[in-house]
Homo-oligomer: A and B are copies of this chain.
Amino acid sequence: MTDTAQTKLMGREIRLVAHPGGFPGESLFEVAESPIPEPAESQLLIRNAYFSVDPYMRPRTGDAREYVAPSTLGEAMTGGAVGRVAISRHPDYAEGDWVLHTLGWREWALSDGTYVWRIDPAAAPVSTALGVLGPPGFTAYYGLFEIGRPQPGETVFVSGASGAVGSAAGQMAKIAGCRVLGSGGSPEKVAWLRELGFDEAFDYRARPVREALAEAAPEGIHLYFDNVGGDHLEAAIGALRNHGRIVACGWMSRYGDAEPTAPHNLFMVVTKRLRMEGFRISDHLDRFLEFQAKAGGWLRDGRLRYRETVIHGIENAPDAFLGLLRGESVGKMLVKVGPADDDQSPRG
């Protein structure tokens, strides 16, 4: 592709055009076209192959209940994306390199190299850089091992276990020698958790979490990896043993229509000497290579497996995002953009 041809092409992106009052809908987004930009000195132009839709993006759409600054209206949604360098005027990147970046929901991304990581398409399918070998996998790894500190023989409960983070966290807890329980939101998800080697899995829409936990772990749990909050968190606090730990990773229960339960047994943090701790992987990027090396090894030896739910076409990104919030995906939810054959890496 030449510089001249490039400026004639148009690229699409998904922009946020409204802030929802409650649960977001498709009217929040528009598909916008603009000329594909030309990289200046020290810039690179990336043609995206996949981008990620994630639960953490919900607060960014803006909501009266939220306490974070929403994304700016009229701008493309940011987030993890994987693509190939189309033109590079940056010394560290060459045309054809596969990269992970954070510029989100667009076909073409112009970058100065900030928050761009080169990925090896021979090691694993490039889409895994957005899932099991990318931010969700790293979130599971850092949260489980650094915050949760699982010990062999302990019982670990993972909520939202069929998601990209939860499925990795549960399998890593198995690798750590733990007994692992997981909750999912459908019989299909629960079946997949059993396939992955979870010792117990249950459908939280079919029965109260508290009951399911009492049955699956009558002697209590040592560690709770929380992706959900609300009634899951309350049930887990009730089930935790003395000196139990809560990895406060996410609060999916806030992303539905209704305000979730506030746990009425939080005083048990005192009586049981619990530790509950939040984290964000962007504070710990110095550990990312270590994670990739370990997770890559587990992936190759079959101890770490993953699923992807791939939605094709940038215009379907809002649907993919809303479907994720409604719990319709299994594993990592991705949007495939660009030509279908641009991903030349081996598929798992």
Residues of A within 8 A of B (CB): 59, 67-68, 229, 233, 248-251, 254, 259, 261-280, 283
Contacts and interface: CB of A to CB of B under 8 A. Distances in A.
Contacts of A269: 248, 276-278
Given A254-B267, A264-B259, A274 B273 contact: no
Contacts of A248: 269-270, 274
Given A276-B276, A276-B277, A277-B276, A68 B266 contact: no
Contacts of A270: 229, 248-251, 278
Contacts of A275: 275-278
Chain A, interface SS category: loop
A259 B59 CA distance: 31
A269 B271 CA distance: 19
B229 A271 contact: no
A36 to B, nearest CB: 35
Contacts of A68: 271
Nearest to A247: B270
A277 B274 contact: yes
A72 to B, nearest CB: 19
Contacts of A59: 271
Contact of A262 (B249, B262, B272): B262
B266 A264 contact: no
A279 B269 CA distance: 8
Contacts of A273: 277-280, 283
Contacts of A261: 262
> Which 9 pairs, one residue from A and one from B, show the smallest C-beta to C-beta distance?
A262-B262, A251-B267, A275-B277, A273-B278, A270-B278, A248-B269, A269-B278, A262-B264, A276-B276
Given A262-B262, A262-B263, A263-B262, A67 B268 contact: yes
A267 B227 CA distance: 11
Contacts of A268: 67
Given A254-B267, A262-B263, A262-B266, 10 more contacts: A67-B265, A67-B271, A68-B271, A229-B266, A229-B267, A250-B270, A266-B266, A269-B276, A271-B278, A275-B278
Instruction: Select the residue from A229, A248, A261 with max chain B CB neighbours within 10 A.
Output: A248
Instruction: Select the residue from A251, A267, A269, A272 with max chain B CB neighbours within 10 A.
Output: A267
A286 to B, nearest CB: 16
A102 to B, nearest CB: 18
A276 B147 CA distance: 12
Nearest to A68: B271
Contacts of A271: 59, 67-68, 278
A279 to B, nearest CB: 5
14 contacts: A67-B265, A68-B271, A229-B270, A248-B269, A262-B263, A262-B264, A266-B266, A269-B276, A269-B278, A273-B278, A273-B280, A274-B278, A275-B275, A276-B276
